[in-house]
A and B are shown apart, each in its own frame.
Chain A
Amino acid sequence: MTILLDGGPRMRRDEFRLLRDLVNQRSGMYFDDASFFVFERRLRERARALELGDFTSYYQYLRFHPRGPEELDEAIDALVTNETYFFREEYQLRAFADDVLPRLRAQAEAAYRRRLVIWSAGCSTGEEVYTLAILVLRSRLFEGWDVRVFGNDISRRVLGIARRAVYPRHSFRAMPPQYEEYFEPDAGGRRVADRVRALCQFGHFNLMERERAAILGRVDAIFCRNVLIYFDTESRRKVIESFYDRLQPGGFLMLGHSESLLHVSTAFELAHLATDMVYRRPLGTASLAPRPGDVGDARSGDGEGRR
């Protein structure tokens, strides 16, 4: 299927609805009726790659085939226009580096903890993960600490790109020149330096899978920028609740500039930084009782034992 020429099966409205509902069940993302042509064009390619002649067969493949869930993740990746690059929304990153990181250091020290964990939720091709790691390194506030920057995504394809850590020129279009030292030349563009990569890890799971997120333990900051816009209201609430669970008391939640928690959650408080406003899990809240499968508490070193 090409952009202007009809070269493959047409999608029926009932097929669109079935596929859309399946995507919603799997990922929490909701696509309105206007997304019909996006579904038709982008999923047609996937159906053809699987040699399926119509969208009903593709839908049944997603539902019944052992590789259906994997294919569904790739279909979702194809549907979402997820463009990212290094130092995207730089003003917010500056606020993070100048304001948030010092606060996180102070909070961790007060709890006798020398560990910093940052979660890039829905990390796509990984530029945000490496950007955050670079900011932590450059701050020099956490030398000798256990620092981890973790990125998750639903698409194996983008995670593969993230792990390769080699990026073409357009990924650097917003990067200030003072960060050049964190990259090395590569045939495919530029490669992220090893000392940055050493701080970073990637994982494959869906933001709706709250239990899987427990693998991270407690984190100090979460970046989830321009991801939740695809979610329906109920799914957005569930994801935000999951974020609240994962954050240390006093931990920060950074959303995209057009996103807010209005009508979603009153559990977070607004934190006024010098150049930005962000959300924070209130400092006063004690840790949650561990949930089954939650391995974080034992590693958090925050001095609070299991109940």
Chain B
Amino acid sequence: MLIRPLGDKALRVEVGERIDEATQARVQAACAAIEAASLPGVRELVPAYTTITVHYDPAAIAHAGAPSDDLAGWLGMRLEQVVKSAAKVKTTKPRIVEIPVCYGGEFGLDLARVAARAKLSPEAVVQRHVKGDYRVALVGFAPGFPYLIGLPKELATPRHAKPRIVVPAGSVGIAGEQTGIYPFATPGGWNLIGRTAVPLFDPLAEPPAHLQTGDRVKFRAITADEFAKREAAR
């Protein structure tokens, strides 16, 4: 484990070096432990593939008794103790969230591209994508935008050199070995293979993002008719 400053209002806690399940599990456990410890001055945590960014308030840390010439060291030491004993903290079982997706056609403009690169039929690509066992490693770059690990390796496809000006909301895409879903229409360079009608972000909901780091995700293929019904029901 490595704890280093990130400017004067955050620390980075690194618990691994690779994007894989084992590291993700450590990130989740460390995050849960830090939250449970309710350390003074810690404002929020941002878990990612291999790290947790701990945002803190220097004034609150000083107020809690830290030496004013080493606020970061004081907090860092406490974080280290908390994370080291993370194994003893009971983590909740990850949720399994099902995301129904209508693959191909107008919703999957890059399905053929992914298939050609994998030397598979488009149907086979869909079958393998659906079979994947995914975990949300990161939510970022846009509110509610989930980065999933667990994409079958043969489906990995590099992103477009020139991003599309608009990627429709709900689009399911592949970029390299990552798969993700666009919560809003934004520019984007991911390979689009399908679309979901499930809203991924609602600022009035608590929590506002549908998917959270640590969640397991299963994709389920649906027909265009079912997609239309779900869209209408929103």
Q: Please determine whether chains A and B interact with each other in the same assembly.
A: no
Which B positions have Cβ atoms within 8 angstroms of A?
none
Which A positions have Cβ atoms within 8 angstroms of B?
none
